[in-house]
Amino acid sequence: MKKWIYRIALAGALAVFAFSAYQLYKIYEGSKQVDDERDRLAELAQEEEGFVPDWTALKAQNPDIVAWVYVPGCDNISFPVVQGDDNDYYLDHTVMKEYNIRGAIFLDHEAAPDLSNENSIVYGHSVDQGGMFTSLDRFEDPSFFEQHPYFYVMTPSQNYKCPILAFGKTTEGSPFYMNYENHDTAAHAAEIEKAAMYYRAQDVSNKNLVTLSTCDLDYGFDSINRLTLVGILEPTDERIVIE
């Protein structure tokens, strides 16, 4: 009897191990798919002159590609940005339109694709295993916030070096997500300052903002809590090097 109990327990343990191994493989496979796509698309750039995306080649891969975002100091946050007909499709589809729960980095579907709104919101998942926008949580460290004062957004018409205005641990519907139609960015920035975890006072008159948004894993995947990183869209001609 003891031998049978032992065998049943062993079989159960092996089944649990096999299931866990399969789940880990699926996680690895999903992460590798996203990384491989990103690396393949990143090859469509002139590295000798800095990172210069070939927009014709990128749009031939997917016409929904509207920008590229790069956040220095954050592991692997260098991604093409897509824009769909809604904010659902790219939650679980990659930039190459393959099903993957990690999704893609995407611009709000109602935003102007050239980022001409007062505040353009770019979304990406946070995941337990890292990747996508997960490492935006590094900005919770005040020293990291101080040492990393900007990120980059590249578009077919203009590249931007974005001085970071604010970082927030916030919720959906907070001032970080507002888009004032009258382009009163100074008033908007004042509202962001009240809601921000960290804020840099800067002149935002007649300028537009871009907000990177992701889930706050401190509250789980299904909460309305978010991490937000707000940059000021400042046109640049500088050589952009992705490390």
For 148-160, the pLDDT digits (tens) are 999 999 999 999 9
The count of domains in the chain is: 1
CATH number for position 212: 2.40.260.10
Give 215's strand partners: 226
Comparing 30-34, 70-74, 112-116, 203-207, the range with the smallest average pLDDT is: 30-34
If pLDDT is split at 50, 70 and 90, which confidence band does 35 have?
confident
What is the residue range of 50's domain?
Answer: 42-236
Q: Taking the model in full, what pTM does it have?
A: 0.85
* Domain assignment of residue 136, yes or no: yes
In the predicted model, is pLDDT for residue 115 greater than 90? yes
**Mean of the per-residue pLDDT values for the chain?**
86
CA distance 221 to 214: 10
pLDDT at 83: 98
Q: What pLDDT, on the 0 to 100 scale, is given for residue 45?
A: 73
* 16 domain residue, yes or no: no
pLDDT at position 9, please? 46
Any domain includes 12: no
For residue 32, what pLDDT is reported? 65
Does the residue 19 lie in any domain? Answer: no
